[in-house]
Amino acid sequence: MYILYYKPTCVFSQRVMQMAENFNVTLDLRDITESEEAMSELMEKGGEHKTPFFVDTESGVSMYESNDIIDYLREHVKGKVAESSPSRPRIHMAGDAVCVSCEG
């Protein structure tokens, strides 16, 4: 099972969730802003009050950093990802500027 500790307002968490959706990967989402239990688990497992934090319960792998999480998902779902699935998250535009955190 893949667990993602996240904050709804965290663009890096949103980026991981978008890529998981692109890869057709199901995440057990735990919002640390809504649940004291989720916050306690995050601190116990990761030791830092930041998101996103990812846990693969089957392999015992856990990590912070959206790029690392996306790379891990990409590698572990090889062959399971539909050919038409985008390999990068959607890019948000604000006028002529691209949201740097969403560039993938």
The token duo for 72 is 């891990």
- Residue 18's nearest CA partner among 70, 55, 94 is 70
* pLDDT for 84 beyond 50: no
Mean pLDDT of 44-54: 96
- Domains of the chain from N-terminus onward: 2-102 (3.40.30.10)
Give the span between the Cα atoms of 55 and 4, in whole angstroms: 7
Whole-prediction pTM: 0.76
- Residue 87's nearest CA partner among 23, 4, 2 is 23
Whole-number average pLDDT of the chain? 84
Mean pLDDT of 19-23: 93
Binned at pLDDT 50, 70 and 90, residue 78 comes out as low
